[in-house]
Amino acid sequence: MKADGSTGIANTAIELPVGKLQKTTAAVFLDRDGVLIEDRGYVSRVEDVVIFPWTARSLRMLYDSGYKLFVVTNQSGIGRGYYTVEDMERVNRHIEEVLSRDGVQFERVYFAPEAPDQPSRGRKPSPQFLFDARDEFGIDLKSSYMIGDKLTDLECGWNAGVARSILVRTGYGAEVEKACRERLRDALVVDDLYAAAEWILGRR
């Protein structure tokens, strides 16, 4: 192996950037409410946003290790008429702004604005947004992770074929852990986003 990780063998025959082709882009897909911020029920105002104290540090660890970060959030409060897309975008911008001070950047925030009874292209457990990220950003889903606090988050990851869906005990996670033990056989269950990040990076 060369220092850049390539074997150098293929380069002798054809001029291809072998190292680059072999490199896959892995991602961590994150639910928003209950994972990055406290789930206070239909959070629609910046004043109600409480970012967990470990969120920035956890995301920075993943980001520095080369994982692309995506938020995938169901925002049925929009479809239910509780708040508008603009309200949600204001909240998202605030979260992104605060986290960017710690060097964290999301590639994209995917949201499904529909209520559960409305037809939706991407509402979790649909894997559609993960497929979109695969197609647009070249994400290798098999080496990517989904982190959420509800069963639908985990199912979204499973439906997309990610390496692992991870349930955090923050938000609804602790309740889900109790209520859905059987369904969680294929999930990893950890205390919070920080524990999830450490696990992904092989530190526990």
31 is an interface residue for Mg ion by CB under 5 A: yes
**1-20 mask for Mg ion (x: CB under 5 A)?**
--------------------
Cα R_g (the chain), whole angstroms: 18
How many alpha carbons fall within 13 Å on the CB side of residue 143?
Answer: 11
Q: Are 38 and 52 in contact (CB under 8 A)?
A: yes
**50-79 mask for Mg ion (x: CB under 5 A)?**
------------------------------
Q: Coil, helix or strand for 30?
A: strand
Size of the site for Mg ion (CB under 5 A): 5
Segment contacting Mg ion by CB under 5 A, of 23-31, 47-55, 83-91, 156-164: 23-31
119 cis-preceded (ω within 30 degrees of 0): no
Report in angstroms the alpha-carbon separations of 167 from 8, 16, 97, 152, 185.
40, 40, 26, 10, 11
Which residue's structure tokens are 């889903």? 141
CA 40 to chain centre: 19
Instruction: Examine the residue annotation and report whether 140 is marked as an active-site residue of this protein.
Output: no
Residues from 159 through 198 that contact Mg ion (CB under 5 A): 171
33 is an interface residue for Mg ion by CB under 5 A: yes
Q: Phi/psi of residue 29, each to 5°? A: -95, 130
If the CB atoms of residues 26 and 176 are measured against Mg ion, the closer one turns out to be 176
Q: Which residue in 37, 67, 113, 149 binds Mg ion (CB under 5 A)?
A: 149
Instruction: Examine the residue annotation and report whether 33 is marked as an active-site residue of this protein.
Output: yes
CA 20 to chain centre: 24
Segment contacting Mg ion by CB under 5 A, of 86-94, 100-108, 142-150, 175-183: 142-150
- The residue nearest Mg ion at its CB is 34
CB of 172 vs Mg ion, minimal distance in Å? 6
Could you count the other beta carbons within 10 Å of the beta carbon of residue 122?
20
Residues from 74 through 133 that contact Mg ion (CB under 5 A): none
Catalytic residues: 31, 33
Residues that bind Mg ion (CB under 5 A): 31, 33-34, 149, 171
